[in-house]
A and B are shown apart, each in its own frame.
Chain A
Amino acid sequence: MGYNWNWGVLLQPVATGEGATYLGWILHGLLLTAALTLAAWLLALLVGTAFGILRAWPSRLCDAIGATYVSLFRNVPLIVQFFIWFFVVPEVLPTAIGDWIKSITPSTQVFVVSVLALGFFTGARICEQVRAGIAALPPGQLQAAQALGFRLPQTFRHILLPQCFRRILPPLTSEFLIISKNSAVASTIGLLELSGQARQLVDFTAQPYESFIVVTLAYIGLNIVILRLMEWIQRRIRLPGMMGA
């Protein structure tokens, strides 16, 4: 088919004269993907837990607020959410703030936006897991805590949430894996994470196969590392006598 394989291209200095190699770009992309995944997962955990608690809180209003969040963030495609965070949010905020946002270093901007978009999108899924996890606890646990004089926030903090998190740990760690893949959408707003680097390499080297193969392998490697990590965490957090330990 007339393709000139040239794996050496990966080790060539980049055409932009920035003193890196193309492989270095890919590694940088891998680092960004990992950082983005971790940051977004933490945010998702935070947001998802907060709204999950709202949904489980014995108050119709709180439940409605949580449900609205879930509905909004689950029923709009991720890429649309990325675009809205990136293009719409600075425009609907007061002009001064919007202009300030736009003046931030672009690479920082897209990274932060990516964390927000992925975090809130995944948070909606985690919210539902937290809600279900709390609902699955025996109702006696809430009563037992209250009978000891715990206030509701203390009950959630010390009794319900710790149990809920142990139960939902497997889906929570899967979300980590899902975020690592969804993070590729960040390339659409210009973040040069792994998949963004793959495309940049195609542009600059005219050697599409080499860069795509390397980047795909990087994703598979990342996937395997995360799976191992998930197993490790799940083993660590298991309680004696529970969940088949």
Chain B
Amino acid sequence: MNIGKDVVKEIKQNKVPHMNIPIRSTSNIVYDEKNLCYILGNREFSRSAGNIRHIKKMTQLVKVADFSKQLVKEGTRHVTKRELYYISESWGEKLKFDEQPESDEIVEDIEAMISEPREAINIIPNPKGSIYGDIAMRFKNPKGKMMTVNCLDTADGQQIGPRMTEAEFAKTSANIIIAIETTGMYNRLIEENAHEKFNALLINLGGQASRSTRRIIKRLNEELKLPVYIFCDADPFGLHIATVIISGSAKSAHVNKHLCTPRAQWIGVTATDIIEYKLRSDKLRDLDIKRIKELQVDPRYEKDKRLQQELKVWLKIGRKAEQQAILRYGFEFVVDKYLPAKLKELKAPGIR
């Protein structure tokens, strides 16, 4: 972080200090063919300490940067954005934030300036999700001591929190990762021994994946070369969950390349599955239809024939289903028939 140094340099040259901050609005978001996700373009805007609309924000920005620098140095503490907002009160009247969106914006400005997700400076998102399966994790406990835990030795999986997100992967026998949208289906797969049958790590997303979960999926994929399969509800929201894991969101374009897993694959439940398995379904809402039409022209998926085909089917049948609707065939069907067929189609390793 050269933010502070740049300021001091300008002062010493008797200049009014300024800061260049990458623009995060949609106009400056571009698709990166190399990383296969949206990233920020080159455009920046400049804040000047001589502009009274900027000086307070700039002061708060260097304060937040300084604060998180201390956190990183210390090494055991993490704060959420909400905590940061409250802690700012201890900085006095001039520096404290009046509304949380103000501190949130500055955190994002810093992320964009340093080109790293905020987790790197110990400002963490609220954790959500858990992991189950044979993998030993090495993590630093709150007192700084290194410990190891195997995610198969726990009752219902390991909670993905700040320490888990940063853990080292000590050892695993798994071949693949299955990320599951709902807690219900995650528990189902545990109880049906899917982790053994597919030699898999099961990750419970608990709805839209939190940044911690996306980060750990990316790390498992890159560091251990484990292919990732995403198993969601058969609706545009489920598909959205998958696409965010795969290519990130426009909102987080400034940190996408640290969070997304471009080679992850969407298992379904697909629109074709709704027909083929005669799943209990509901009508698509207008919002759903709008979302599908957006995805049809999204540059990230233009060339994905399977996805495009499914989007067409969706519009045609006009219906959506939950992943648990597969239970109409009883408990075992999902691991005995549905997933094997899907994983085979996607050429997952170790599946005949």
* A, B: real partners: no
